[in-house]
Amino acid sequence: MKVRVKFYAAFKEFFNAEERELELDGRARVGDLLAGLCDSEECRKKLFNEAGNLRRDVKLLRKGDNVQFLVDVQAELIDGDVIVMFPAMLGG
C-alpha cells in the first residue's frame, strides 16, 4: 500500500521535505509508518519517548483525527491514506 506523509513547520525542515510517500505492507499500522520514516537514532528521539511511545509534542492527523489520542499508533492504515505531521504549538 502507499501512504503519504505531509510535514509542517519544524518537521518540514527535519525531514527536508514537504511530503513523502512510503510503500508499506498491506496490514501496516501508523507505528509501522513512523518506523519507516525513522532511519536514524536522531529521528527516533525526535518522534518517540524513552518508553517507545509517540512524544506528546508530535501531532499526527489521519483523516482529521488526532492519532496520538483518538486513533492510536496501532491503527491500521488504508492504501492512499494521508498522514499530517506537525509539532505541538506552544504559547502563552
Q: What are phi and psi of 44, to 5 degrees?
A: -60, -40
pLDDT at 23: 96
Mean pLDDT of the residues in the chain: 85
Residue by residue, pLDDT tens for the chain (92 residues) are 999 999 999 999 999 999 999 999 888 988 899 989 998 999 999 998 898 888 888 888 887 666 555 346 778 888 999 999 999 876 55
Domain locations along the chain: 2-87
Calpha distance 46→13 (Å, rounded): 13
pLDDT at 42: 93
Residue bearing cell 518508553: 51
The DSSP code for 89 is: P
Architecture per CATH, 2-87: Roll (3.10)
